[in-house]
Amino acid sequence: MRIIGMLGGMSWESTAEYYRLTNELVRDQLGGVHSARILLDSMDFADMEQLQSAGRWQEAGELLAAKASALESAGAQMLVLCTNTMHVVVDAIEQAVTIPVLHILDATSARVRQEGLSRVGVLGTAFTMEQDFYRDRLAAGGIQAIVPEPQDRATVHRIIYEELVRGVVTEASRARYRAIIDRLVAGGAEGIVLGCTEIELLVSAEDSSVPVFPTTRLHVEAAVEMALT
């Protein structure tokens, strides 16, 4: 079994899901009391949030690249970045290590194509919904990304940073997300990509009339497959 290096803490709420799901999948596949071999660097999200808000992406990339290199030196044999948004700097991370870095959108795109879909709505932070890095990676896989209207994007982002990263999950926010999903579907979305790891704490397949693609779970499934191969 390969040792999985995890870059986490962005936020720890979603990183906890990465840790739980990874161990559950390894147990399910190997049986008994098996669990995953994991090296986890869980950073203080306040530091990263400040860099995000200030648009200091190069510094953020340098910070994560250093952490990735340290995980490799500690024995990690593959890397998982436990966040959607910070894949904006995945190139810096890949350049800092010699071990594989599993991109969250490669696993997601593969599942979308497997379902025979080519146009998906994306929910995530404002950075994920509005910058090119996310839609370009999907487009490279033959998938068109559509995002909510500005007011809906603001709502999605606010709920992530004011509630979900703090462990707050409410029915009112779930209802708001459902309404936004409905509008994306009305606009032509054939599926919904939950493009923020914390959104999976709030939204599930039952909240959408079209297939939902939970990026955290898909990312973990790809990581466990590689770790056990």
Q: Which residues are catalytic?
A: 83, 196
Q: What is the per-residue pLDDT across 68-103, written as a single tens digit (0 to 9) for each?
A: 999 999 999 999 999 999 999 999 999 999 999 999
Per-residue pLDDT at 224: 98
Rounded distance between C-alpha atoms, residue 41 and residue 215, angstroms: 20
Q: Which two tokens stand for residue 167?
A: 């462990």
Beta bridge partners of 79: 5, 101
Q: What is the per-residue pLDDT across 150-205, written as a single tens digit (0 to 9) for each?
A: 999 999 999 999 999 999 999 999 999 999 999 999 999 999 999 999 999 999 99
Q: What is the per-residue pLDDT across 39-67, written as a single tens digit (0 to 9) for each?
A: 999 999 999 999 999 999 999 999 999 99
Per-residue pLDDT at 114: 95
- In 3-state terms, what secondary structure has residue 80? strand
Per-residue pLDDT at 138: 95
- 64 residue type, one letter: L
Question: What is residue 32's DSSP assignment?
Answer: T
> In this prediction, what percent of the chain has a pLDDT beyond 70?
100
Rounded distance between C-alpha atoms, residue 134 and residue 190, angstroms: 17
Total count of residues recorded for the chain: 229
Per-residue pLDDT at 126: 96
- CA 99 → CA 32, 146, 148, 180, distances in Å? 29, 33, 36, 39
pTM of this prediction exceeds 0.75: yes
Q: What is the per-residue pLDDT across 114-134, written as a single tens digit (0 to 9) for each?
A: 999 999 999 999 999 999 999
